[in-house]
Amino acid sequence: MQFTGITALARGRGANALLTGILTVASYIVLEFGLIVLLPKGENRSLIAVAAAWTWIALVFIFVRFVVGGGMPKPDSKWNCSQCRYLNDASSVICEACQQPWKSPDKA
Ligand SMILES: [Zn+2]
């Protein structure tokens, strides 16, 4: 799981990829360094801070994946954009290449 993965996912969900990326990186840094400062001194302090920061990233990932764009029609599998033929992932509700929303083939 990487920051680029989150921004790509956010773009596919119709969210602002740049904003999602910046917020994710910023919150990660704040959490990791904030916890190192706040936690009582101990051998595991930096380990706990890193673990907490990655847990947060995982939560953001889950939020973007399941909540953002949740009200939009969803594809069941990988799909080709009707406009530019780009092969999109099943998690994308809009085309990653041209931002065209996914349309159900039944309704087209
Ligand atoms: Zn497209």
How much is the average pLDDT of 10-23?
86
pLDDT tens digits, one per residue of 69-89? 777 778 889 999 999 999 999
One domain, residues 49 and 84: no
82 and 38 share a domain? no
pLDDT score at 107: 55
Cα 33 to averaged position of ligand 1 atoms, centre (Å)? 40
- The Å distance, Cα 58 to ligand 1 centre, comes to 28
Residues 58 and 7 in one domain: yes
- 88 CA distance to ligand 1 middle (Å): 8
What is the pLDDT at residue 4?
79
pLDDT higher than 70, residue 108 = no
Summary mean pLDDT of the chain: 86
Q: Determine the structural domain holding residue 26 and report its residue range.
A: 3-71
Write down the pTM of the prediction.
0.66
Q: What's the 44 CA to ligand 1 centre distance in angstroms?
A: 47
Whole-number Å distance, alpha carbon 80 to ligand 1 midpoint, is 8
At 2, is the pLDDT very low, low, confident or very high (cuts 50, 70, 90)?
A: low
Q: Mind spelling out the 3-state secondary structure of the chain?
A: CCHHHHHHHHHHCCCCHHHHHHHHHHHHHHHHHHHHHHCCCCCCHHHHHHHHHHHHHHHHHHHHHHCCCCCCCCCCCCEECCCCCCEECCCCCECCCCCCECCCCCCC
Å from CA of 81 to ligand 1 middle: 5
What sign results for the dihedral spanned by CA atoms 95, 68, 63, 29?
positive
